Amino acid sequence: MPFNIVPLYFGFGMSLVDIVSESLCKYYSLDPNRGIILIIAACILYSFQPLIFTRALNYQGMGIANVMWNIISSSLIILVGVIIFREKINNVQCLGIFLSIIVIVLLSYKNEN
């Protein structure tokens, strides 16, 4: 198989933590009366990032794993912002998301040497 998909699983796992944590922060920012529990929950969730990232390093170098995680997370968080929070993105930003998907594909390519 020419692609190393295992780091993608870890990237999506770390992204899921990001999405939930950042959504909790967004809900808190929209209504601070909801309580500090949202921020505490976000902090607790974020504490799992190093554990997942450490596992990802068994399958990919640190730089590539970090870039993959950041791109996947950013793209998915943008989608959550658009779908759930009705945030707007323009055509150039859509192009950026599309290009970032190409980057993920290229970074997943296995070097057979």
Per-residue pLDDT tens digits for 64-98: 888 888 999 988 899 899 999 999 999 999 999 99
Residue 1 lies in a domain: no
Report which of 73, 61, 113, 62 is spatially closest to residue 97, judged by C-alpha positions: 73
Residue 98 lies in a domain: yes
Residue 113 lies in a domain: no
* Residues 14-55 pLDDT 10s: 999 999 999 999 999 998 888 899 999 999 999 999 999 999
The pLDDT value given to residue 112: 60
The pLDDT value given to residue 111: 64
Q: Is the pTM of this model over 0.95?
A: no
Q: Give the residue numbers spanning the domain of 57.
A: 6-107
Specify the higher pLDDT residue, 108 or 12: 12
The pLDDT value given to residue 5: 83
Query: Which pairs with CB-CB distance under 8 Å and at least 24 residues apart come from 21-26?
Result: 21/45, 21/46, 22/77, 22/80, 23/80, 23/84, 26/81, 26/85
As for how many domains the chain has, the answer is 1
| One-letter amino acid of 108 | S
Residue 53 lies in a domain: yes
| One-letter amino acid of 11 | G
Residue 80 lies in a domain: yes
Q: What is the average pLDDT value for the chain, to the nearest integer? A: 89
